[in-house]
Every structure is written in C-alpha cells, then in structure tokens.
Amino acid sequence: MKYIYSLILSAFFLMMTGCDTAQQPARGFEDEIFVFADSLEFEELRESLSQVFEKEIETPQPEKLFAVRRADISQLNHLKTFKNVVFIAPLNSGSQVSKYISTLLDSAARQKMEQGEGAFITRKDYWAKGQLMMIVTAKDMATLEYELLRNSDKLLYGFQKASDERLKAGLMGSKFEDKKAGAALLEKFDWTIYVQKDYKIAITDTENKFAWVRRTPNTELEIWIFIHWIDNADPALLNKDSVYAIRNRITEKYIRTSDDKDYVTVADSAYTVTETNFNGRYALLTQGLWHMTDKFMGGPFLSYTFYDESSRRIYMLDGSVYAPKYYKRNLIQQADVVLQSFRLKSEMTEKEIKVMLSAPEK
C-alpha cells in the first residue's frame, strides 16, 4: 500500500511540475547553466562541473562556453523555465535535490545505479519550449563525480546542441532571411547557405571556387563566411597541414586590407583540428584565431572541411568574427549555426529547389 501511494504521489508531482499545455519560450542567457544542488554537494562537485561545462575558448581573450550558476531547490518555481537546467546529487544523500531526483527516475535508471553506474537523463521542452533539462545522479558521491567526468563530452555537447537549435529556430526561415541571396548561390554553385538580410555577398568567383558573405562590413562588429571548394579532389587532403595551408592560401588571396598591403592569416598560437560529424559527413573542425599580417586586427574563427563523394569535391566552410569591443562567444556560435545550414543541391528535393529558386525579390 505504501509503495502504491508513493507511485501515485510521484505521478501527481510530475503532472504538476512537468506538464504545461501552453509552453512559453525558455528564457535566460544561452551561456548560463543553472545547477540545482545542495550547497555542500555543490562544493564537492564545483571543480568537476567547471571542468565539464566551463571550457574556455580563445577569442583571443579567454571566454567560457557556459557559466555554471548554483541554484537552490527553493528557487525551482522561479528558475525552472530557463534555457539550461541541471539537477545533480547522489541518489540517497538525503538532500532536497536528491529527494527531488528520486521522484524523476524510472526503473531502468535505478537498475543502472544498482549495478554501480551513474545515470544522466535529458528532457527537452520540459518546462519551456527550447529548454534542455538534465538529471545527473549515481549511488554515491564518488560514483557521481566519476560518471560526470566520464560523460563530460556528451553532457557538454547536449547543451551546445540545444543552444544551436534555439539559435537556428530564431534565424532560419524567419523574416531576417535573405532568401533571394540564398537562391542566387544555389543557382550559381549548386549549393546554398543561410544568408541573413544584414549580410552581403561580397565575392563570387566561379573560376577559383570561392564565395564570401559578410555581415556589416567595415564596422567594429563583423562576421565573415566563406565557402571554398576543390574539384576532382584527393580525400587525402583532409589532414591538419592541408587544411592550414588551404585556408591561408584563400585568405591571402581574398581577405585583404583596403590598401591591399596586408591579409588574414592563421595565428599559430591558437589552432586546433579535430574530427567531427558535419551534417552526417566526416569532417575536420578547425578552431583558432586569425589576424591581419600587420597584427592590427584579429579574432576567432572556425571551419569545417569535408569530402563529398558524389561530386568528388572537398569543401571548406569557414566563419570568422571581428568584434574587438564585444563578447565573442555568441557571435562565433552564430557563425557556426550559419555554416551548419550549408546544403548541396543534390541533397535537396525538387520541391525544395523550386521553392528556393522562386524566392521573391527582397
């Protein structure tokens, strides 16, 4: 009888906290994660939580991908509709957060912990549209911290992906899109990318396989997107040294100062290349800093380089930010989301192509 009463109580609690038939958009900053944890348990986990979520990127000033904010369970009603929410505690510690987590776990998660594993559970749109809520728990503190660090890449990726999806939803197919510009790229090059209305197609060079799209050129807040491709390419070019050389060759040719004396190059001090999945393709993700050869300007960049078997082309999609007076973490994320909108004509349906090519004049 006590067991049945507990199930009914848990179900009622979930109905009261997890259901909302008219969800509002999640609120708060993209780079904040509210972590509901007991104060003493949070102190034990603070360093590990920072290691997982507060990774730094060079822009060139160090900026955190996310900032962890501890929240008390008494603040739940106020904070539960924020964009990024985590509940973390050992399952049987007796803390208020631990008791709350126990009401959310199913039998499969409990079984994992009985076997000495931890559990992390994600819930999208739990209290608000676009929200990611995550539960991280284990049978004791030592196992919890181990599982937190062991799954660090998955946990961080979850919040990065949710943030990208929110940003994409706010941009793509909206009143801010220059559909005619996207259609022009598709018609000319057999590929397209999202073009916002405050961007301009600065250069299209069919002979040298290059296109450059710029946001608010010649200001103190610029985003540059370029696409370069190589026909009849050797897949062996997908390596760190080749990517470095190709990017420098392209920026030296096209991204120069107005007097043509200096040009963009990779800053060797901050340059990484990692393997990644780009829209279902194997790709190399390059992240680092760029600067003019006179060192007067600089900022962060990222690029995806991949081989397309159907066309036998290597594509390099690159986004750069110049914003000396601004926080650049969100700007480079915007560039990333734009790059991820890249699509080949061969991947599109006839209906999608027809709709895009019939886009009205802006």
Q: Is 176 exposed, middle or buried (0-12, 13-18, 19+ CB in 10 A)?
A: middle
pLDDT at 211: 98
Q: What is the pLDDT of residues 215-225, one digit of tens each?
A: 877 778 999 99
| Separation of alpha carbons 136 and 91, rounded Å | 9
Nearest by Cα to 49 from 145, 117, 189: 145
pLDDT at 1: 38
Task: Decide if 212 contacts 202 (C-beta within 8 A).
Answer: yes
CATH 3.30.379 for domain 2-170: yes
pLDDT at 34: 98
pLDDT at 362: 52
| Separation of alpha carbons 181 and 155, rounded Å | 37
Helical residues (DSSP H) of the chain, grouped into ranges = 2-18, 39-53, 76-79, 96-102, 107-114, 141-150, 152-171, 179-189, 240-254, 329-340, 350-357
Q: What is the pLDDT of residues 44-97, one digit of tens each?
A: 999 999 999 999 988 888 999 999 999 999 999 999 999 999 999 998 899 999
Q: What is the pLDDT of residues 1-54, one digit of tens each?
A: 333 333 333 433 444 444 444 789 999 999 999 999 999 999 999 999 999 999
pLDDT at 104: 86
Eight-state DSSP code of residue 7: H
pLDDT at 129: 96
CATH fold of 175-357 reads Protein Transport Mog1p; Chain A (3.40.1000)
pLDDT band at 361 (very low <50, low <70, confident <90, very high): low
pLDDT at 360: 65
Indicate the average pLDDT of the chain.
Answer: 89
Q: What is the pTM of this model?
A: 0.85
pLDDT at 5: 33
Whether the predicted pLDDT of 135 surpasses 70: yes
Lowest mean pLDDT segment, chosen from 52-66, 104-118, 198-212, 310-324: 104-118
pLDDT at 19: 47
pLDDT at 244: 95
Q: Region 167-171: what's the mean pLDDT? A: 87
Percent of the chain with pLDDT over 70: 93
Angle at the Cα of 35 (from 30 to 38), degrees rounded to 5? 165
- Domain regions of the chain by residue span: 2-170, 175-357
pLDDT at 31: 95
pLDDT at 33: 98
Residue 334, C-beta contacts closer than 8 angstroms, at least 6 positions apart: 167, 171, 223
Q: What is the pLDDT of residues 234-288, one digit of tens each?
A: 999 999 999 999 999 999 999 999 899 999 999 987 789 999 999 999 999 999 9
pLDDT at 351: 93
Q: What is the pLDDT of residues 308-355, one digit of tens each?
A: 999 999 999 999 999 998 999 999 999 999 999 999 999 999 999 998
